[in-house]
Structure 1
Amino acid sequence: MPTTQTAIIALAAAAAAALLWRRRRRRVPPPGPQQPPLVLDARMLDRVLSSIEEEILPQTKTELAKGNKMFGAAVLDAFSGDTVVAATNLETACPIHHGEVVAIEKWSELKKRPRASECLFVATHEPCCLCVSAIVWSGFERCVFLFPYETTKRQGIPHDLNIMYELWRVERYQRRNRYLATSGVSTLIAALPPSSERADLEARVARLAAAYDALADSYKKGPRPDVAFA
């Protein structure tokens, strides 16, 4: 066997042994089986965008004027696409009332509600470490978001990335893991075959992006209530 190839194999074996040693030392269990990749057809993507545009965004505009951030969420029936609940950020009332948490509370208060595993969780922005944990603890297995962390940061709210890194020294959670599969709307649209439906979905995302950029500008100029990470 050539010397170079032998050296590469030796280095790979040493790296694997070191990783295993660190896991055992830290008692970190190996990753479990992942949730299936999140895939949505054009009909369901249309419902996701409609829930944001027609049910979340109007609430957000109202609450933004009170100093709440422009983060909202909804729970959709994964089969019909019907909206079960829609909500927006209410952290001026309670600091952990992010849009996702409010949506979970509204869903849990329903006397008749679909099981979390039968739902699609929708977030306008990629959920922070608080919210992605709440989504998992509630039993939701699929979550789609309109804007990734990088867009949230560009819109002037970098706390999601900063807190995750400061707490755990990771850049982001694992988007596919044994509990939850998440994906951005634009990624799911890009996976569709070229068609007029896909072009329409892309145009709607662009319109929503402009609307949320405007909300971000309004938030920066609006009232500053006494909340953490305002």
Structure 2
Amino acid sequence: MEITENAQLAARLLSVMQNDILPLTEKGVAEGNKVFGGALLRKSDLSLVMAQTNKETENPLWHGEVHLLKCFYESPVSKQESTKDMIFLSTHEPCSMCMSAIAWAGFDNFFYFFSHQDSRDSFAIPHDLKMLKEVFGLEPGGYNHDNAFWRGRGIFDIMATLPDAEAKPLLNQAQRIRDHYAQLSDSYQESKDDNAIPLN
């Protein structure tokens, strides 16, 4: 099923971030985890299948996206829902491990709110870009956003194509989400030395 990148999609992705992922991330950060999270939505009606957040204090591989996939496949819903019929929402542009996991799980898409540069500059978490550079020799943005596995798009890229009247309320909501994540980032940075995450 084709995904239409329009105001309705952007609004729904922002709503899921604000109402479904952020509350989980607040709890996760309180436990010492990073601010990354994700959600699965049905392409057919944009309804929520599942939301999750980072659990690296439990296992350093449980990035927001990978932990979401773990929980999905441990749930009965995975027997009823096909990944080809779902949208993958990531709060932050996925790292190389998470991009691969999204492909291995059979998704043909992902959408993200914060970019790799945001993770480095606004969240003081440079590992995504460093991994892409050191392991794959890629500069920021250097991976193929359209490839044989999936199409990766930023939510802000969608909003940039919208008429001002449609974009303005979405951009206002996006700023509120940014502000909330900035607070959570401060909390994480203050406590990160207390956990055992290898790349904190």
Instruction: Settle same-fold status: TM greater than 0.5.
Output: yes
1:148-174 Cα distance to aligned partner (Å, 9 max, x none): 001000110000000111111112421
What amino acid is the match of 2:55?
L
The CA deviation at 1:39 is 4.5
Amino acid at match of 1:116: T
Please state whether the residue corresponding to 2:164 is helix, strand or coil.
coil
Q: Does 1:131 align with 2:98?
A: yes
Is contact 1:39-1:188 (8 Å) kept? no
> 151, 168, 171: which is aligned to 1:199?
168
> 2: CA distance between counterparts of 1:39 and 1:163?
32
Once the two structures are superposed, residues 112-152 of structure 1 have per-residue CA deviations (whole angstroms, 9 ceiling, x without a partner) of 43211111100000000110100000000110000000100
Cα distance between partner residues in 2 of 1:181 and 1:175: 6
Query: In the TM superposition, what whole-angstrom CA distance separates every residue of 1:34-78 from its partner, at most 9, and x where no partner exists?
Result: xx8x74222221111111101110111111011100000000101
* 2:110 paired residue among 114, 138, 143: 143
Between the two proteins, what is the percent identity of the paired residues?
33
Residues of 2 paired with 1:150 and 1:117: CA distance?
Answer: 29
Which of 1 and 2 has greater Rg? 1
Give, as a single letter, the amino acid of the residue that structure 2 aligns with 1:107: F
Write the letter of the residue equivalent to 2:101.
A
Match of 1:121 among 88, 92, 96: 88
- For residues 102 and 226 of structure 1, what CA distance do their matches in structure 2 show? 17
| Secondary structure of residue in 2 paired with 1:222 | helix
Q: Which of 178, 182, 193 is 2:152 aligned to?
A: 182
> In 2, Cα distance between the equivalents of 1:188 and 1:86?
22
CA deviation string 1:71-98 (max 9, x = no partner): 0000010121111000000010011001
Q: TM-score, normalised by structure 1?
A: 0.80
Distance in structure 2 (CA, Å) of the matches to 1:75 and 1:193? 27
Measured in 2, the distance between the counterparts of 1:114 and 1:148 equals 28
Mapping of 1:7-46 within 5 angstroms?
A: 39-46=4-11
- Whether 2:14 is the aligned partner of 1:52: answer no
Q: Contact 1:75 / 1:86 at 8 angstroms: preserved in 2?
A: yes
| 2:124 alignment partner, one of 156, 172, 181 | 156
* Cα distance in 2 for residues equivalent to 1:60 and 1:111: 23
Q: Distance in 1 between matches of 2:148 and 2:26?
A: 35
Instruction: Give the match for residue 209 of structure 1.
Output: 178
Assess if the C-alpha contact under 8 Å between 1:91 and 1:98 holds in 2. yes
1:107 deviates by: 2.0
Contact 1:141 1:180 in 2 (8 A): yes
Offset at residue 178 of structure 1 (A):
1.1
Describe how 1:79-98 pairs up with structure 2 within 5 A: 79-98=44-63
Taking the aligned partners of 2:112 and 2:127, their CA distance within structure 1 comes to: 17
Match of 1:165 among 110, 113, 133: 133
TM-score by length of 2: 0.92
Q: Tell me, in whole angstroms, the C-alpha distance in 2 between the residues paired with 1:217 and 1:211.
A: 10
- State the superposition RMSD in angstroms: 1.4
2:39 to 59, 70, 74: 74
Runs of 4+ in 1 over 4 A off after TM superposition: none
**Partners of 2:197 and 2:7 in 1: how far apart?**
39
